[in-house]
Structures are given as structure tokens and as C-alpha cells.
Amino acid sequence: MLVLGAVTELTRLHFPHNKALLDDLQILQKRLKYGLARTAAIALYELGFADRVLASELAAVVGPVESRAAARQAIRHHEGAIRQALAQYPSYFSDILRTLPDYERRASSNSDSASSAPLGKANPMTIHQLHHFLQGIHHKIQEQDKLAAATGENFNVFKILGVEAYEVGTHSAFLSELLSPQGTHGQGSTFLKLFLHHYQPQRMPPSPGS
């Protein structure tokens, strides 16, 4: 999941206009996260029917839907069959059905736009492009592993100190201070400029006198 998340972010960074590819990656993330293969089951799971077996059973009732908004409409259309299916499960899920509009209103502020967006469709050409993209990433990972072995960059002071999992309290605070022009290091924006130059070499204007 972490690797796929990183690949998705890299794709969003380098191919921001390839919506089909991003949709495919996002649906793949959800399939792995929830353990569900059908987009309808994923939509139902995200509506609050957070049980893989139940979501799959309800998906068979509502048919093919590709968004949470479409899933809500399908639930209303098949409400009788949905209630009959829910009767075999804990009453919590029947409560979810009764309070579904309230459940959606309690969602985050971007829920409406997210719920109406398609969950993704497999596209043979897009998958082919993704395969080549992932092959390129695999090759770069191998190169990075060789470089790390040669330079010793796997040395991790946070791991040595036993705090490698405390990202918020250590890593984030350290990086924030280091990249801040007002940081106590007294180097102004030097580290921030170096960071931006390293990760965006084509977008950074040349420094004065360079």
C-alpha cells in the first residue's frame, strides 16, 4: 500500500492531466485497502457498510455503480432487497441505512465532489502505460539501492535512536525547522532553496550570481 501510494503521488506529480491513469491507481489503492474488487462494493463500503462480505452482497443487489452518489440512488431503488439483506447482519448496518443522508452530511467538506466522481474504469491502454511506468520505477529503485549501498545513505540516525516511527514529533519537526528561513540554524532560506532546486530543477530560477 505504501509503495502504491508513493507511485500514485509520483503519477499525480508527473502526469497531472492523465485522469484515466490516476483513476485506475486510486481504484487499485481502494481495492487493496478494502479487499474488494468491485467498484460498487467499494462505494457501499465507503457509505458506511464497512464489512467486506456485506458490501459484496449489497453490490450484487444494486448492480454496477461507480460512485457513492450512484450507490445511494441504487439503494433507494432497491431498498426492499437491501433491507432484507441487512436483516442477516447486526442492526448497526440497518441503522446506517436509516441515517444514510445524515451520514453523508457528516462527511468531510469535499465529500460531495468526491462521491460523485467515478471510482475508476480499467482501460487496456492505460494499464499498458502504467505497466511501463512501474517498470521504470522498479529500475530506478534498483539503481537507488545500488547507490545507497555505495554511499551508505541507509544510515538512519532516527532508527538508531529508536524514534523512526515518531514522524510528527521528530521527522516533521526537524524538517520544518531545517526548511524554515526563520530556523535557528541561521542559514536563512539556503536549505529551502537547495531542497526546491533538487526536486524541481526545471522550475527553479537560477540564484543571483550562480
Q: For 185-196, how does the pLDDT look when each residue is reduced to its tens digit (9 = 90+)?
A: 898 989 888 888
pLDDT tens-digit series, residues 77-103: 898 899 899 888 888 888 888 877 644
Q: Per-residue confidence at 115, pLDDT binned at 50, 70, 90?
A: very low
Measured over the CA atoms of residue 51, residue 57, residue 59 and residue 62, the dihedral's sign is: negative
Residue 127: CB partners within 8 Å, gap ≥ 6?
A: 24
With 70 as the cut, is the pLDDT of residue 176 above it?
Answer: yes
N residues, the chain: 210
User: Residue 167 — very low, low, confident or very high, per pLDDT cuts 50/70/90?
Assistant: low
Instruction: Enumerate the domain spans of the chain.
Output: 35-116, 157-210
DSSP 8-state code for residue 204: S
Say if residue 68's pLDDT is above 50: yes
Residue pair 207/193 in contact (Cβ under 8 Å)? The answer is: yes
pLDDT score of 129 more than 80: no
Quote the CA–CA distance of 99 and 197 in Å, as a whole number.
51
